[in-house]
Structure 1
């Protein structure tokens, strides 16, 4: 298992892992995994080790938007529609 990167290193990176996204957004790993599987969080697949990489700035913004919608009472299908995700 690899060592965690420092927050300074994460904030300087264009791409982050799902675990790093959880740290950045104070979200549960399992919640972000669900959003990824539902197509709500786009990612790129790194060829060398098949790790999913997320663009840090746009994905953090998307997670914060989803959290706001959730607190506003939107359902997952409504959020997916708002994000333009095919259902």
Structure 2
């Protein structure tokens, strides 16, 4: 049986799981998984059990920005380009 961390613990954690990101952002699991697979939501691979770990603060900010761009009707290819341009600064 896996233990579910409390929101208090999650909100202080440096790294979170995709399920915890769902709880933090209210964005569907399938959406976050899609963003991860598209390369617009970065993660780190934890070696011992192959779990994807997301930096909490950066991931929440990135998801918020992606959702803002989606609300402006930007496509995934457009979002990729915008995020790429932002990383060149």
Structure 1 length-normalised TM: 0.94
Aligned pairs (5 A) from 1:15-54: 15-54=15-54
What is residue 72 of structure 2 aligned with on the other side?
Answer: 72
What is residue 12 of structure 1 aligned with on the other side?
Answer: 12
Task: Extract unaligned runs of 5+ from structure 1.
Answer: none
| CA-CA distance at 1:4 after TM superposition | 1.1
Q: Deviations over 1:35-86 (max 9, x none)?
A: 000000111000111000000000100000000000111000000011118x
CA distance in 2, matches of 1:32, 1:17: 11
Corresponding residue pairs, total: 85
Which 4+ residue blocks in structure 1 deviate beyond 2 angstroms?
none
